[in-house]
């Protein structure tokens, strides 16, 4: 991302307002380019603060999809631990099982429960979903809100971060409240149990791909 220089913006604005018309037009063209840099700078800061593309799109007057297309290069997936990668593989499997277009918080709850990181009656929770869908297309990736929560992490992303992001999701919390083996409040400070990826388990190629 190009660095933003506020002094340059102010100088161009002053020239646009005070120079002769031709010079002002040249300064205005340069100012527009500088404002584009400023916009990207502000979006990058918002993403680092954990804002979602929906929240960023609203003040810009564009759709979430447009904001994602325009600014997705400002985020890069964090490094995944083996445990987190395995959990995301399982979450994708759970999403595909029910024909979901994205990996949602509920799917992560099931995956983390399978990993031993969350206490949940897995089969009862699965029965609360619609029946499995045959030959459903694979989900495109994580739900945008979950994606935003995860990419704000720096360094390696492990089960701790997955659990934290999952417990911030309303759908995931509802599933845990119905089928969890304990209160959601008790889970907030609970550290997950380590789980290693089994031999031959597929690695997730697009676990953090934005839908």
Q: What are the residues whose beta carbons fall under 8 Å from the beta carbon of 22, sequence distance 6 or more? A: none
Alpha carbon 131 to its chain centroid, in Å, reads 27
pTM of structure: 0.57
**Pick from 46, 34, 102, 33: nearest CA to 74:** 46
> Which class is domain 79-188?
mainly alpha
Tell me the CA distances in angstroms from 64 to 25, 56, 91, 125, 205, one per residue in order: 32, 8, 24, 30, 24
Judged by DSSP in three states, 28 sits in helix
| Tens place of pLDDT per residue across the chain (211 aa) | 556 788 888 999 999 998 899 999 999 999 998 898 899 889 988 887 778 889 999 999 999 889 988 888 787 667 889 999 999 999 999 999 888 888 999 999 999 999 999 999 999 999 998 887 777 778 888 887 788 778 766 678 888 889 988 998 888 999 999 998 766 555 555 544 433 333 333 333 344 443 3
**Residue ranges of domains in the chain:** 6-74, 79-188
């Amino acid at each position: 991302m190009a660095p933003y220089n506020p002094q340059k913006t102010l100088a161009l604005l002053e020239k646009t307002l005070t120079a002769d018309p031709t010079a002002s037009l040249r300064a205005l063209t340069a100012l527009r380019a500088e404002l584009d840099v400023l916009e990207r700078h502000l979006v990058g800061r918002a993403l680092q603060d954990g804002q979602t593309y929906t929240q960023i799109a609203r003040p810009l007057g564009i759709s979430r999809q447009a904001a994602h297309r325009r600014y997705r290069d400002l985020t890069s997936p964090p490094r995944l631990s083996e445990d987190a990668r395995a959990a995301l593989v399982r979450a994708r499997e759970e999403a595909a099982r029910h024909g979901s277009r994205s990996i949602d918080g509920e799917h992560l709850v099931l995956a983390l429960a399978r990993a031993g990181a969350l206490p949940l009656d897995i089969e009862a929770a699965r029965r609360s979903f619609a029946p499995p869908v045959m030959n459903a297309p694979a989900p495109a990736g994580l739900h945008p809100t979950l994606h935003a929560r995860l990419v704000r992490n720096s360094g390696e992303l492990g089960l701790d971060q997955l659990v934290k992001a999952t417990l911030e999701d309303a759908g995931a919390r509802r599933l845990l409240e119905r089928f969890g083996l304990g209160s959601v409040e008790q889970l907030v400070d609970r550290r997950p149990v380590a789980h290693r990826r089994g031999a031959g388990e597929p690695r997730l190629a697009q676990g953090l791909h934005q839908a």
